[in-house]
Amino acid sequence: MNYNQLVEEIKIKKSLLCVGLDSDLNKIPSFLLNSEDPIFEFNKAIIDSTHQYTVAYKPNLAFYESLGIAGWQSLEKTMDYLNTKYPNIFTIADAKRGDIGNTSKMYAKAFFEHFNFDAVTVAPYMGEDSVMPFLEYENKWVILLALTSNKGAFDFQMHSDKENRKLFEKVLEKSQEWADKTRMMYVVGATKAEMLKDVRAIVPEHFLLVPGVGAQGGSLEEVLANGANSNGGLLINSSRGIIYASNDNQYQSRAAEEAFALQKLMKTVL
């Protein structure tokens, strides 16, 4: 998907919502466990009930990998379903990969060719040649970790140089040499919403993928106030708050309600 197509979908749906598919056998409604592929059935039901409010879905790879081959199959089916039934919705492999060039190339092949994701999250620690292989695909995106939403973000991302420039700021600056706003986004955690202003000073135009709204404690209003730009410029993720809003037979309608509640707030800035 290219930049204009993503912006168009945001304008049509008046939404910046990304739904995180952190699908876990221990948390989905127990009556689904009797089906042939419980994780796929759950994802399909969540997607069907939330798609009208949603511009992006973000499967979290760890949840699928922890189930071995069965998890890999559930992910393949989920991506086939999304790409066939909802081709205008952006898809993100939340994989946080990053390795030497010839290895990153294989990860890019896995996510962009095998699964046909639109984007993959990439960790910046290994630098330029660990990121470039993901940028060799037309209309595919890198979402680079900049400032994450967890407590450990303070351990290294705030490491300041002599000019008081923090590591995450250096990541934002340096990586703009690798791709522009049509190929790259940044992960910026919602739990540090006041810092979105600092981020916007460095990357005014880029999309930011903002995790941490809801279960991780970030405020949506603050994110919108500090992070939105003229094209929206944000993909705001909620995972557990939507997909596990209920685990009884009302789980689809409850997920839809939670997604709609977030979209209602989002449309005020669009």
List residues binding a second copy (CB under 8 A): 22, 24, 60, 62-63, 65-69, 72-73, 76, 94, 96-107, 109-110, 113-114, 123-131, 145, 148-157, 159-162, 167, 170-171, 174, 211, 216
Considering the complex, what minimum distance in angstroms separates the CB of residue 209 from a second copy? 14
Q: Say how far apart CA 145 and CA 152 lie, in whole Å.
A: 13
Q: Establish whether 44 is a catalytic residue.
A: no
Residues 6+ apart with CB under 8 A from 143: 92, 119, 120, 121, 122, 184, 185, 186, 187, 209
CA angle 76, 77, 82 (to 5 degrees): 100
Residues 6+ apart with CB under 8 A from 90: 1, 6, 9, 18, 55, 56, 57, 118, 119, 235
Q: Say how far apart CA 187 and CA 101 lie, in whole Å.
A: 22
Q: Which is nearer to a second copy, 138 or 155 (CB)?
A: 155
Containing H/E element for 237? Answer: strand 234-238
Considering the complex, what minimum distance in angstroms separates the CB of residue 187 from a second copy? 10
SS3 category, 127? coil
Which candidate in 14, 77, 96, 105 is catalytic? 96
Considering the complex, what minimum distance in angstroms separates the CB of residue 260 from a second copy? 25
Containing H/E element for 154? Answer: helix 153-156
C-alpha pair distances (Å), 233 with each of 3, 93, 157, 194, 216? 11, 19, 22, 16, 21
Q: Residue 90's closest CA among 237, 192, 269?
A: 237
Read off the DSSP letter of residue 234. E
Considering the complex, what minimum distance in angstroms separates the CB of residue 46 from a second copy? 18
Q: Which is nearer to a second copy, 29 or 211 (CB)?
A: 211
Q: Say how far apart CA 105 and CA 113 lie, in whole Å.
A: 11
Torsional sign, CA 222, 226, 229, 233: negative
Considering the complex, what minimum distance in angstroms separates the CB of residue 199 from a second copy? 16
Point out the residues that are catalytic: 96
